[in-house]
Amino acid sequence: MSLQNQEIAELLTQVAQLLEIDGANPFRIRAYRNAALAVENHPRSLADMVRAQEPLSQIPGVGNDLAEKIQEAVLTGRLALREELLQHLPAGLLQLLRLPGLGPKRVRTLYLELKISDLAKLRAAVMANRVQTLPGFGPKLQAQLLKALNEPALQSSRRLWAAVKTVVDELTTMLQGISSVAAVSAAGSFRRACETVGDLDLLAAAPKAAPVMDAFVHFEDVREIISQGETRATVVLRSGMQVDLRVVPRESYGAALQYFTGSQAHNVALRKLAQQKNLKINEYGVFRGAKRLAGAEEAEIYRVLGLACPSPELRENRGELEAARLKTLPRLVALNDIRGDLHAHTNATDGADSLTAMADGARARGYEYLAITDHSQRVTVAHGLNTARLAHQLDAIDRLNEKGSGLLLLKSMEVDILEDGSLDLPEAMLARLDLTVCSVHSKFNLSRTAQTERILRAMDNPYFSILGHPTGRLLNERPPYDVDMEKILPGARARGCFLEVNSHPARLDLTDIYCREAKNLGVKISIATDAHAVRDFAQMAYGLNQARRGWLEPEDVLNTYAWKDLKKILRRK
Protein backbone atom coordinates (compact mmCIF):
# COMPACT_ATOMS: atom_id res chain seq x y z
CA MET A 1 0.00 0.00 0.00
CA SER A 2 1.64 3.23 -1.15
CA LEU A 3 1.76 6.15 1.23
CA GLN A 4 0.01 9.36 0.26
CA ASN A 5 1.84 12.71 0.16
CA GLN A 6 0.41 13.74 3.52
CA GLU A 7 1.63 10.55 5.18
CA ILE A 8 5.12 10.91 3.66
CA ALA A 9 5.24 14.51 4.85
CA GLU A 10 4.29 13.38 8.35
CA LEU A 11 7.16 10.87 8.43
CA LEU A 12 9.63 13.57 7.30
CA THR A 13 8.25 15.99 9.88
CA GLN A 14 8.66 13.42 12.63
CA VAL A 15 12.27 12.84 11.59
CA ALA A 16 12.90 16.60 11.75
CA GLN A 17 11.31 16.76 15.21
CA LEU A 18 13.30 13.80 16.52
CA LEU A 19 16.51 15.21 15.09
CA GLU A 20 15.86 18.51 16.88
CA ILE A 21 15.11 16.74 20.17
CA ASP A 22 18.33 14.79 19.64
CA GLY A 23 20.32 18.02 19.17
CA ALA A 24 21.25 17.39 15.52
CA ASN A 25 22.70 19.90 13.06
CA PRO A 26 20.14 22.72 12.45
CA PHE A 27 20.78 22.59 8.69
CA ARG A 28 19.89 18.90 8.60
CA ILE A 29 16.73 19.55 10.60
CA ARG A 30 15.73 22.37 8.25
CA ALA A 31 16.28 20.14 5.21
CA TYR A 32 13.75 17.60 6.51
CA ARG A 33 11.24 20.33 7.40
CA ASN A 34 11.53 21.92 3.97
CA ALA A 35 11.18 18.53 2.29
CA ALA A 36 8.04 17.77 4.33
CA LEU A 37 6.50 21.06 3.24
CA ALA A 38 7.44 20.43 -0.40
CA VAL A 39 5.93 16.93 -0.29
CA GLU A 40 2.70 18.03 1.39
CA ASN A 41 2.14 20.80 -1.16
CA HIS A 42 3.25 18.89 -4.24
CA PRO A 43 0.37 18.69 -6.73
CA ARG A 44 1.18 15.14 -7.87
CA SER A 45 1.22 11.85 -5.98
CA LEU A 46 4.84 11.02 -5.12
CA ALA A 47 3.88 7.35 -5.04
CA ASP A 48 2.83 7.64 -8.69
CA MET A 49 6.13 9.37 -9.49
CA VAL A 50 8.09 6.56 -7.82
CA ARG A 51 6.15 3.95 -9.78
CA ALA A 52 6.84 5.88 -12.98
CA GLN A 53 10.54 6.14 -11.99
CA GLU A 54 10.45 9.92 -12.22
CA PRO A 55 13.31 11.65 -10.33
CA LEU A 56 12.04 13.05 -7.04
CA SER A 57 15.16 15.20 -6.70
CA GLN A 58 13.63 17.61 -9.22
CA ILE A 59 11.07 18.68 -6.62
CA PRO A 60 12.18 22.00 -5.05
CA GLY A 61 13.43 21.34 -1.53
CA VAL A 62 14.20 17.66 -2.19
CA GLY A 63 17.82 16.69 -2.87
CA ASN A 64 19.21 13.28 -3.80
CA ASP A 65 19.46 12.01 -0.21
CA LEU A 66 15.92 13.03 0.65
CA ALA A 67 14.66 11.64 -2.66
CA GLU A 68 15.99 8.24 -1.56
CA LYS A 69 14.28 8.62 1.82
CA ILE A 70 10.96 9.44 0.15
CA GLN A 71 11.29 6.46 -2.17
CA GLU A 72 11.96 4.28 0.87
CA ALA A 73 8.79 5.61 2.52
CA VAL A 74 6.70 4.98 -0.59
CA LEU A 75 7.97 1.44 -1.08
CA THR A 76 8.11 0.26 2.54
CA GLY A 77 5.77 2.54 4.47
CA ARG A 78 8.57 3.45 6.89
CA LEU A 79 11.79 5.42 7.29
CA ALA A 80 14.78 3.60 8.72
CA LEU A 81 16.19 6.88 10.07
CA ARG A 82 13.03 7.48 12.08
CA GLU A 83 13.29 4.01 13.58
CA GLU A 84 17.01 4.51 14.32
CA LEU A 85 16.22 7.71 16.19
CA LEU A 86 13.52 5.90 18.16
CA GLN A 87 16.09 3.29 19.21
CA HIS A 88 17.57 5.81 21.64
CA LEU A 89 14.74 8.35 21.94
CA PRO A 90 11.46 7.25 23.56
CA ALA A 91 8.53 7.05 21.13
CA GLY A 92 6.39 8.86 23.71
CA LEU A 93 8.19 12.10 22.87
CA LEU A 94 6.16 12.25 19.66
CA GLN A 95 3.00 12.25 21.79
CA LEU A 96 4.28 15.27 23.71
CA LEU A 97 4.61 17.21 20.47
CA ARG A 98 0.84 17.01 20.01
CA LEU A 99 0.32 19.30 23.00
CA PRO A 100 -0.18 23.05 22.43
CA GLY A 101 2.88 25.05 23.38
CA LEU A 102 5.29 22.12 23.08
CA GLY A 103 7.69 22.14 20.17
CA PRO A 104 10.86 20.06 19.83
CA LYS A 105 12.97 22.51 21.85
CA ARG A 106 10.67 22.42 24.85
CA VAL A 107 10.24 18.64 24.57
CA ARG A 108 14.04 18.34 24.56
CA THR A 109 14.17 20.43 27.74
CA LEU A 110 11.53 18.26 29.42
CA TYR A 111 13.40 15.12 28.43
CA LEU A 112 16.88 16.29 29.46
CA GLU A 113 15.92 18.17 32.63
CA LEU A 114 13.07 16.09 34.06
CA LYS A 115 13.40 12.76 32.17
CA ILE A 116 9.85 13.20 30.85
CA SER A 117 9.35 10.80 27.96
CA ASP A 118 5.58 10.33 27.66
CA LEU A 119 2.21 11.84 28.58
CA ALA A 120 1.95 10.01 31.90
CA LYS A 121 5.29 11.36 33.13
CA LEU A 122 4.39 14.84 31.94
CA ARG A 123 1.09 14.70 33.81
CA ALA A 124 2.90 13.64 37.02
CA ALA A 125 5.41 16.49 36.65
CA VAL A 126 2.66 19.02 35.97
CA MET A 127 0.66 17.86 39.00
CA ALA A 128 3.82 18.24 41.11
CA ASN A 129 4.37 21.78 39.77
CA ARG A 130 7.82 20.84 38.45
CA VAL A 131 7.31 21.97 34.86
CA GLN A 132 6.72 25.65 35.61
CA THR A 133 10.24 25.99 37.06
CA LEU A 134 11.95 25.11 33.77
CA PRO A 135 13.41 27.91 31.62
CA GLY A 136 10.88 29.02 29.00
CA PHE A 137 7.88 27.42 30.71
CA GLY A 138 6.25 29.13 33.71
CA PRO A 139 2.87 28.75 35.49
CA LYS A 140 0.74 29.85 32.54
CA LEU A 141 2.15 27.21 30.15
CA GLN A 142 1.94 24.56 32.88
CA ALA A 143 -1.77 25.31 33.34
CA GLN A 144 -2.26 25.16 29.56
CA LEU A 145 -0.57 21.75 29.45
CA LEU A 146 -2.75 20.41 32.26
CA LYS A 147 -5.88 21.48 30.40
CA ALA A 148 -4.68 19.83 27.19
CA LEU A 149 -3.73 16.62 29.01
CA ASN A 150 -7.34 16.33 30.16
CA GLU A 151 -8.75 16.59 26.64
CA PRO A 152 -10.29 13.27 25.47
CA ALA A 153 -9.07 13.91 21.90
CA LEU A 154 -5.48 13.59 23.07
CA GLN A 155 -6.04 9.99 24.12
CA SER A 156 -7.85 9.11 20.91
CA SER A 157 -6.56 6.32 18.70
CA ARG A 158 -9.10 7.26 16.05
CA ARG A 159 -7.86 8.37 12.64
CA LEU A 160 -8.97 11.15 10.36
CA TRP A 161 -11.64 10.08 7.87
CA ALA A 162 -9.52 11.31 4.96
CA ALA A 163 -6.56 9.15 6.01
CA VAL A 164 -8.78 6.07 6.38
CA LYS A 165 -10.22 6.65 2.91
CA THR A 166 -6.82 5.82 1.44
CA VAL A 167 -6.93 2.45 3.21
CA VAL A 168 -10.52 1.84 2.14
CA ASP A 169 -9.73 2.57 -1.50
CA GLU A 170 -6.77 0.19 -1.54
CA LEU A 171 -8.61 -2.66 0.19
CA THR A 172 -11.85 -2.38 -1.77
CA THR A 173 -9.93 -2.28 -5.04
CA MET A 174 -8.12 -5.47 -4.06
CA LEU A 175 -11.33 -7.24 -2.99
CA GLN A 176 -13.22 -6.13 -6.10
CA GLY A 177 -10.50 -7.81 -8.14
CA ILE A 178 -11.59 -11.22 -6.86
CA SER A 179 -13.86 -12.71 -9.51
CA SER A 180 -16.36 -14.25 -7.10
CA VAL A 181 -16.95 -11.02 -5.16
CA ALA A 182 -20.27 -9.43 -6.18
CA ALA A 183 -20.12 -6.32 -3.97
CA VAL A 184 -17.76 -4.63 -1.48
CA SER A 185 -18.29 -1.71 0.87
CA ALA A 186 -16.84 -0.11 3.94
CA ALA A 187 -19.32 0.08 6.80
CA GLY A 188 -19.34 1.45 10.33
CA SER A 189 -18.26 4.98 11.21
CA PHE A 190 -16.40 5.35 7.92
CA ARG A 191 -19.54 4.85 5.86
CA ARG A 192 -21.43 7.25 8.12
CA ALA A 193 -18.65 9.77 7.31
CA CYS A 194 -17.77 10.38 10.96
CA GLU A 195 -14.91 12.85 11.26
CA THR A 196 -12.67 10.19 12.80
CA VAL A 197 -12.65 6.39 12.48
CA GLY A 198 -11.49 3.72 14.93
CA ASP A 199 -11.43 0.15 13.63
CA LEU A 200 -12.42 -0.22 9.98
CA ASP A 201 -15.31 -2.53 9.01
CA LEU A 202 -15.47 -4.01 5.50
CA LEU A 203 -18.24 -6.11 3.99
CA ALA A 204 -18.11 -8.32 0.90
CA ALA A 205 -20.71 -10.44 -0.86
CA ALA A 206 -19.50 -13.72 -2.32
CA PRO A 207 -20.84 -17.30 -2.66
CA LYS A 208 -17.75 -18.73 -0.94
CA ALA A 209 -15.88 -16.84 1.75
CA ALA A 210 -12.61 -18.80 1.81
CA PRO A 211 -10.94 -17.25 -1.30
CA VAL A 212 -11.89 -13.76 -0.14
CA MET A 213 -10.55 -14.38 3.36
CA ASP A 214 -7.31 -15.75 2.00
CA ALA A 215 -6.71 -12.73 -0.22
CA PHE A 216 -7.56 -10.36 2.63
CA VAL A 217 -5.22 -11.80 5.26
CA HIS A 218 -2.37 -12.00 2.71
CA PHE A 219 -2.78 -8.41 1.55
CA GLU A 220 0.63 -6.75 1.29
CA ASP A 221 -0.07 -4.16 4.01
CA VAL A 222 -1.10 -6.69 6.69
CA ARG A 223 1.26 -6.75 9.66
CA GLU A 224 -0.59 -9.22 11.87
CA ILE A 225 -3.52 -11.63 11.53
CA ILE A 226 -5.63 -11.43 14.69
CA SER A 227 -8.21 -14.02 13.65
CA GLN A 228 -9.48 -15.85 10.59
CA GLY A 229 -12.77 -17.71 10.71
CA GLU A 230 -15.12 -19.04 8.06
CA THR A 231 -16.79 -15.70 7.28
CA ARG A 232 -14.87 -13.13 9.32
CA ALA A 233 -11.24 -12.12 9.61
CA THR A 234 -9.46 -9.42 11.59
CA VAL A 235 -6.03 -8.03 10.73
CA VAL A 236 -3.77 -5.19 11.82
CA LEU A 237 -2.15 -3.15 9.07
CA ARG A 238 1.36 -1.71 9.09
CA SER A 239 -0.09 1.59 10.23
CA GLY A 240 -1.56 -0.09 13.33
CA MET A 241 -5.15 0.16 12.11
CA GLN A 242 -7.38 -2.84 12.80
CA VAL A 243 -9.60 -3.97 9.91
CA ASP A 244 -12.48 -6.45 10.14
CA LEU A 245 -13.83 -8.17 7.03
CA ARG A 246 -17.11 -10.06 6.90
CA VAL A 247 -18.20 -12.09 3.89
CA VAL A 248 -21.92 -12.76 3.42
CA PRO A 249 -24.03 -14.34 0.66
CA ARG A 250 -25.48 -11.90 -1.86
CA GLU A 251 -29.04 -12.40 -0.59
CA SER A 252 -27.99 -11.00 2.83
CA TYR A 253 -25.66 -8.24 1.64
CA GLY A 254 -28.16 -5.36 2.00
CA ALA A 255 -29.16 -6.40 5.50
CA ALA A 256 -25.55 -6.86 6.58
CA LEU A 257 -24.59 -3.48 5.10
CA GLN A 258 -27.39 -1.79 7.03
CA TYR A 259 -26.57 -3.62 10.24
CA PHE A 260 -22.80 -3.03 10.22
CA THR A 261 -23.11 0.59 9.09
CA GLY A 262 -24.92 1.43 12.33
CA SER A 263 -24.93 3.51 14.36
CA GLN A 264 -25.86 1.35 17.32
CA ALA A 265 -28.49 3.86 18.44
CA HIS A 266 -30.00 3.91 14.94
CA ASN A 267 -30.11 0.12 14.78
CA VAL A 268 -31.73 -0.21 18.22
CA ALA A 269 -34.47 2.23 17.18
CA LEU A 270 -34.93 0.37 13.88
CA ARG A 271 -35.32 -2.98 15.67
CA LYS A 272 -37.97 -1.48 17.93
CA LEU A 273 -39.95 -0.39 14.88
CA ALA A 274 -39.62 -3.90 13.46
CA GLN A 275 -40.88 -5.45 16.72
CA GLN A 276 -43.94 -3.20 16.62
CA LYS A 277 -44.76 -4.80 13.25
CA ASN A 278 -44.06 -8.33 14.56
CA LEU A 279 -40.93 -8.48 12.41
CA LYS A 280 -37.39 -9.51 13.22
CA ILE A 281 -34.44 -7.62 11.75
CA ASN A 282 -30.78 -8.70 11.88
CA GLU A 283 -27.70 -8.84 9.68
CA TYR A 284 -29.27 -11.57 7.55
CA GLY A 285 -32.50 -9.83 6.64
CA VAL A 286 -35.99 -8.88 7.77
CA PHE A 287 -38.12 -11.87 8.79
CA ARG A 288 -41.69 -12.65 9.67
CA GLY A 289 -41.28 -15.94 11.43
CA ALA A 290 -38.98 -18.01 9.23
CA LYS A 291 -39.86 -16.12 6.06
CA ARG A 292 -37.29 -13.65 4.79
CA LEU A 293 -39.01 -10.48 3.54
CA ALA A 294 -35.91 -8.49 2.59
CA GLY A 295 -32.12 -8.68 2.70
CA ALA A 296 -30.43 -8.40 -0.67
CA GLU A 297 -30.67 -4.61 -0.97
CA GLU A 298 -30.29 -2.10 1.84
CA ALA A 299 -33.26 0.04 0.76
CA GLU A 300 -35.50 -3.06 1.06
CA ILE A 301 -34.81 -3.23 4.79
CA TYR A 302 -36.33 0.20 5.32
CA ARG A 303 -39.08 -0.21 2.71
CA VAL A 304 -40.49 -3.31 4.44
CA LEU A 305 -40.80 -1.19 7.58
CA GLY A 306 -42.61 1.59 5.71
CA LEU A 307 -39.59 3.89 5.68
CA ALA A 308 -37.60 5.78 3.10
CA CYS A 309 -33.91 4.85 3.19
CA PRO A 310 -31.90 7.49 5.08
CA SER A 311 -28.42 8.31 3.80
CA PRO A 312 -25.70 6.66 5.92
CA GLU A 313 -24.49 10.07 7.17
CA LEU A 314 -27.84 10.61 8.94
CA ARG A 315 -27.99 7.32 10.85
CA GLU A 316 -27.31 8.59 14.37
CA ASN A 317 -30.87 8.34 15.78
CA ARG A 318 -31.33 12.10 15.62
CA GLY A 319 -34.79 12.09 14.05
CA GLU A 320 -33.92 10.42 10.74
CA LEU A 321 -36.31 7.48 11.25
CA GLU A 322 -39.25 9.79 11.91
CA ALA A 323 -38.32 11.79 8.80
CA ALA A 324 -38.01 8.49 6.89
CA ARG A 325 -41.53 7.53 8.04
CA LEU A 326 -42.97 10.89 7.00
CA LYS A 327 -40.96 10.89 3.75
CA THR A 328 -39.37 14.22 4.74
CA LEU A 329 -35.71 13.21 4.66
CA PRO A 330 -33.52 16.07 3.42
CA ARG A 331 -32.12 16.14 -0.11
CA LEU A 332 -28.54 16.37 1.15
CA VAL A 333 -26.07 18.70 -0.53
CA ALA A 334 -23.77 16.90 -2.99
CA LEU A 335 -20.61 17.68 -4.90
CA ASN A 336 -22.45 18.52 -8.10
CA ASP A 337 -24.35 21.26 -6.22
CA ILE A 338 -21.15 23.19 -5.50
CA ARG A 339 -20.58 26.20 -7.77
CA GLY A 340 -17.41 27.60 -6.21
CA ASP A 341 -15.00 27.79 -3.29
CA LEU A 342 -15.00 30.72 -0.85
CA HIS A 343 -11.67 30.12 0.94
CA ALA A 344 -8.38 29.61 -0.92
CA HIS A 345 -4.79 30.81 -0.56
CA THR A 346 -2.02 31.55 -3.06
CA ASN A 347 1.75 31.76 -2.84
CA ALA A 348 1.36 35.46 -2.08
CA THR A 349 1.12 34.25 1.54
CA ASP A 350 1.45 30.63 2.66
CA GLY A 351 0.01 28.82 -0.36
CA ALA A 352 2.03 26.74 -2.79
CA ASP A 353 0.51 27.81 -6.12
CA SER A 354 0.14 31.12 -7.92
CA LEU A 355 -3.02 33.12 -8.40
CA THR A 356 -3.20 32.02 -12.03
CA ALA A 357 -2.65 28.35 -11.14
CA MET A 358 -5.36 28.42 -8.47
CA ALA A 359 -7.76 30.02 -10.96
CA ASP A 360 -6.94 27.35 -13.54
CA GLY A 361 -7.48 24.62 -10.96
CA ALA A 362 -10.89 25.98 -9.95
CA ARG A 363 -11.91 26.37 -13.60
CA ALA A 364 -10.90 22.76 -14.28
CA ARG A 365 -13.37 21.68 -11.58
CA GLY A 366 -16.16 23.51 -13.38
CA TYR A 367 -16.49 26.23 -10.75
CA GLU A 368 -18.21 29.51 -11.50
CA TYR A 369 -16.23 31.48 -8.92
CA LEU A 370 -13.28 31.28 -6.53
CA ALA A 371 -12.63 33.58 -3.57
CA ILE A 372 -8.95 34.39 -3.05
CA THR A 373 -8.53 34.70 0.71
CA ASP A 374 -4.86 35.16 1.49
CA HIS A 375 -3.97 35.97 5.10
CA SER A 376 -4.00 39.47 6.55
CA GLN A 377 -0.80 41.03 7.86
CA ARG A 378 -1.17 39.95 11.52
CA VAL A 379 -0.43 36.33 10.53
CA THR A 380 3.28 36.96 10.09
CA VAL A 381 4.15 33.26 10.01
CA ALA A 382 2.10 33.03 6.79
CA HIS A 383 3.62 36.25 5.34
CA GLY A 384 0.23 37.96 5.60
CA LEU A 385 -0.54 40.75 3.14
CA ASN A 386 -0.32 44.38 4.16
CA THR A 387 -2.58 46.90 2.45
CA ALA A 388 -0.10 47.63 -0.34
CA ARG A 389 0.40 43.95 -1.21
CA LEU A 390 -3.35 43.32 -1.00
CA ALA A 391 -4.02 46.25 -3.34
CA HIS A 392 -1.54 44.77 -5.80
CA GLN A 393 -3.33 41.39 -5.60
CA LEU A 394 -6.74 42.97 -6.14
CA ASP A 395 -5.45 44.68 -9.27
CA ALA A 396 -4.10 41.32 -10.52
CA ILE A 397 -7.52 39.75 -9.90
CA ASP A 398 -9.19 42.52 -11.90
CA ARG A 399 -6.84 41.89 -14.81
CA LEU A 400 -7.55 38.15 -14.81
CA ASN A 401 -11.30 38.73 -14.59
CA GLU A 402 -11.15 41.12 -17.54
CA LYS A 403 -9.92 38.25 -19.70
CA GLY A 404 -13.34 36.60 -19.31
CA SER A 405 -12.07 33.04 -18.91
CA GLY A 406 -15.33 31.63 -17.52
CA LEU A 407 -14.25 31.79 -13.86
CA LEU A 408 -14.90 34.81 -11.66
CA LEU A 409 -12.19 35.48 -9.09
CA LEU A 410 -13.70 37.07 -6.00
CA LYS A 411 -11.68 39.68 -4.14
CA SER A 412 -11.45 38.60 -0.55
CA MET A 413 -9.10 37.99 2.37
CA GLU A 414 -8.87 35.76 5.41
CA VAL A 415 -8.92 38.60 7.91
CA ASP A 416 -7.68 38.03 11.43
CA ILE A 417 -10.09 38.72 14.27
CA LEU A 418 -7.94 40.55 16.80
CA GLU A 419 -8.26 40.13 20.56
CA ASP A 420 -10.49 43.18 20.92
CA GLY A 421 -12.80 42.02 18.13
CA SER A 422 -11.51 44.44 15.52
CA LEU A 423 -10.55 43.20 12.05
CA ASP A 424 -6.96 43.18 10.82
CA LEU A 425 -7.62 45.39 7.80
CA PRO A 426 -8.53 49.07 7.42
CA GLU A 427 -12.14 49.79 6.54
CA ALA A 428 -11.15 51.40 3.25
CA MET A 429 -9.62 48.09 2.11
CA LEU A 430 -12.48 46.02 3.50
CA ALA A 431 -14.82 48.08 1.33
CA ARG A 432 -12.97 46.93 -1.80
CA LEU A 433 -13.62 43.24 -1.13
CA ASP A 434 -16.46 41.08 -2.44
CA LEU A 435 -16.55 39.19 0.87
CA THR A 436 -14.40 38.39 3.89
CA VAL A 437 -13.53 35.19 5.72
CA CYS A 438 -12.81 36.30 9.29
CA SER A 439 -10.90 33.92 11.55
CA VAL A 440 -9.35 33.60 15.00
CA HIS A 441 -5.66 32.68 14.75
CA SER A 442 -4.39 33.82 18.15
CA LYS A 443 -5.33 34.11 21.82
CA PHE A 444 -7.03 30.72 21.89
CA ASN A 445 -6.85 30.74 25.69
CA LEU A 446 -9.33 33.56 26.32
CA SER A 447 -12.22 32.78 28.63
CA ARG A 448 -15.48 31.52 27.13
CA THR A 449 -17.12 34.90 27.70
CA ALA A 450 -14.20 36.90 26.27
CA GLN A 451 -13.80 34.65 23.21
CA THR A 452 -17.52 34.76 22.45
CA GLU A 453 -17.71 38.54 22.83
CA ARG A 454 -14.60 38.93 20.67
CA ILE A 455 -16.24 37.11 17.76
CA LEU A 456 -19.62 38.80 18.16
CA ARG A 457 -17.89 42.20 18.24
CA ALA A 458 -16.11 41.30 15.01
CA MET A 459 -19.46 40.35 13.47
CA ASP A 460 -20.69 43.85 14.25
CA ASN A 461 -18.38 45.10 11.51
CA PRO A 462 -20.54 45.56 8.39
CA TYR A 463 -17.77 44.04 6.22
CA PHE A 464 -17.73 40.74 8.16
CA SER A 465 -19.09 37.95 5.90
CA ILE A 466 -18.09 34.43 7.02
CA LEU A 467 -16.63 33.11 10.27
CA GLY A 468 -13.75 30.86 9.20
CA HIS A 469 -13.03 27.54 10.99
CA PRO A 470 -15.36 28.69 13.79
CA THR A 471 -13.87 26.82 16.77
CA GLY A 472 -10.20 26.61 15.75
CA ARG A 473 -9.91 22.91 16.52
CA LEU A 474 -7.50 20.44 14.93
CA LEU A 475 -8.77 16.88 15.23
CA ASN A 476 -6.59 14.67 17.47
CA GLU A 477 -4.19 17.61 17.91
CA ARG A 478 -5.79 20.74 19.34
CA PRO A 479 -9.11 21.16 21.14
CA PRO A 480 -11.50 23.93 20.11
CA TYR A 481 -11.07 27.24 21.85
CA ASP A 482 -13.72 27.89 24.46
CA VAL A 483 -16.55 29.67 22.66
CA ASP A 484 -20.31 29.65 23.18
CA MET A 485 -21.71 28.52 19.82
CA GLU A 486 -25.22 28.80 21.28
CA LYS A 487 -24.64 32.57 21.24
CA ILE A 488 -22.52 32.76 18.09
CA LEU A 489 -25.15 31.19 15.83
CA PRO A 490 -28.06 33.47 16.80
CA GLY A 491 -25.58 36.36 16.77
CA ALA A 492 -24.64 35.54 13.19
CA ARG A 493 -28.31 35.35 12.18
CA ALA A 494 -29.09 38.69 13.80
CA ARG A 495 -26.17 40.37 12.02
CA GLY A 496 -26.61 38.74 8.62
CA CYS A 497 -23.32 36.79 8.90
CA PHE A 498 -22.47 33.22 7.95
CA LEU A 499 -20.29 30.37 9.19
CA GLU A 500 -17.84 28.08 7.44
CA VAL A 501 -17.40 24.35 7.34
CA ASN A 502 -13.67 24.20 6.79
CA SER A 503 -13.00 21.09 4.72
CA HIS A 504 -9.39 20.55 5.74
CA PRO A 505 -9.41 16.92 6.97
CA ALA A 506 -7.88 17.88 10.34
CA ARG A 507 -10.40 20.69 10.89
CA LEU A 508 -13.90 19.74 9.65
CA ASP A 509 -14.94 22.80 11.57
CA LEU A 510 -18.00 23.45 12.06
CA THR A 511 -19.20 20.21 13.67
CA ASP A 512 -22.19 18.33 12.29
CA ILE A 513 -24.24 19.20 15.38
CA TYR A 514 -23.77 22.93 14.87
CA CYS A 515 -24.32 22.59 11.11
CA ARG A 516 -27.79 21.32 11.90
CA GLU A 517 -28.35 24.03 14.47
CA ALA A 518 -27.30 26.64 11.89
CA LYS A 519 -29.81 25.14 9.44
CA ASN A 520 -32.57 25.30 12.05
CA LEU A 521 -31.77 28.96 12.71
CA GLY A 522 -31.55 29.86 9.03
CA VAL A 523 -27.82 30.63 9.11
CA LYS A 524 -26.28 29.61 5.81
CA ILE A 525 -22.96 27.75 5.67
CA SER A 526 -19.98 28.04 3.35
CA ILE A 527 -18.36 24.67 2.61
CA ALA A 528 -14.80 25.76 1.81
CA THR A 529 -11.54 23.93 1.27
CA ASP A 530 -9.07 26.43 2.74
CA ALA A 531 -6.96 25.29 -0.22
CA HIS A 532 -3.26 26.11 -0.10
CA ALA A 533 -2.56 24.36 -3.42
CA VAL A 534 -4.57 23.30 -6.46
CA ARG A 535 -4.72 19.71 -5.24
CA ASP A 536 -6.45 20.87 -2.04
CA PHE A 537 -9.62 21.67 -3.97
CA ALA A 538 -10.32 17.93 -3.68
CA GLN A 539 -10.86 18.48 0.07
CA MET A 540 -14.35 19.78 -0.74
CA ALA A 541 -15.55 16.17 -0.37
CA TYR A 542 -14.57 16.13 3.31
CA GLY A 543 -16.51 19.28 4.10
CA LEU A 544 -19.49 17.87 2.24
CA ASN A 545 -19.38 14.83 4.53
CA GLN A 546 -19.67 17.12 7.53
CA ALA A 547 -22.44 19.19 5.98
CA ARG A 548 -24.43 16.08 5.05
CA ARG A 549 -24.13 14.75 8.60
CA GLY A 550 -25.57 18.11 9.65
CA TRP A 551 -28.64 17.60 7.39
CA LEU A 552 -27.65 20.49 5.11
CA GLU A 553 -29.45 20.81 1.79
CA PRO A 554 -28.24 22.85 -1.20
CA GLU A 555 -30.26 25.92 -0.19
CA ASP A 556 -28.48 25.92 3.20
CA VAL A 557 -25.04 26.27 1.58
CA LEU A 558 -23.72 29.59 0.29
CA ASN A 559 -21.55 28.19 -2.48
CA THR A 560 -24.36 26.29 -4.17
CA TYR A 561 -25.76 29.63 -5.39
CA ALA A 562 -24.86 31.33 -8.65
CA TRP A 563 -22.78 34.46 -8.05
CA LYS A 564 -25.61 36.81 -9.01
CA ASP A 565 -27.72 35.31 -6.21
CA LEU A 566 -24.86 34.81 -3.75
CA LYS A 567 -23.91 38.47 -4.11
CA LYS A 568 -27.39 39.45 -2.87
CA ILE A 569 -27.24 36.97 0.02
CA LEU A 570 -23.88 38.33 1.18
CA ARG A 571 -25.19 41.89 1.47
CA ARG A 572 -25.58 42.82 5.12
CA LYS A 573 -29.11 43.45 6.32
Helix axes 355-364, 387-402, angle to 10 degrees: 40
Express each pLDDT in 526-550 by its tens digit: 999 999 889 889 999 999 999 999 9
- Interatomic CA distance for residues 309 and 332, integer angstroms: 13
pLDDT surpassing 70 at residue 573:
no
Q: Per mean pLDDT, which range of 130-134, 409-413, 526-530 is the poorest?
A: 130-134
- Interatomic CA distance for residues 1 and 496, integer angstroms: 48
Express each pLDDT in 239-262 by its tens digit: 778 999 999 999 999 999 999 999
Percent of the chain at pLDDT above 70? 98
Which residues are within 8 A (CB) of 364 and not within 5 positions of it... i.e. 6 or more apart?
none
pTM (predicted TM-score): 0.80
Express each pLDDT in 285-340 by its tens digit: 999 999 999 999 999 999 999 999 999 999 999 999 999 999 999 999 999 999 99
- Mean pLDDT for the stretch of residues 428-450: 94
pLDDT surpassing 80 at residue 4:
no
- Interatomic CA distance for residues 312 and 526, integer angstroms: 22
Phi-psi region of 382 (alpha: psi -120 to 50; beta: other; left: phi over 0): alpha
H-run or E-run covering 208:
none
Average pLDDT value over all residues in the chain: 92
Distance of CA 85 to the CA centre of its chain: 29
Q: Please report the pLDDT score of residue 261 as a whole number.
A: 97
Residue 36 binned pLDDT confidence (cut-offs 50, 70, 90): confident
Q: Please report the pLDDT score of residue 1 as a whole number.
A: 47
Give the number of residues written for the chain. Answer: 573
- Interatomic CA distance for residues 409 and 400, integer angstroms: 8
Q: Work out the burial of residue 276: count CB atoms within 10 Å of its CB; fewer than 13 is exposed, 13-18 middle, 19 or more buried.
A: exposed
> Strand, coil or helix: what is 533?
coil
Closest C-alpha among 460, 384, 381 to residue 420: 460
97 or 171: whose pLDDT is higher?
171
Domains of the chain: 5-89 (1.10.150.110), 159-326 (3.30.460.10), 335-570 (3.20.20.140)
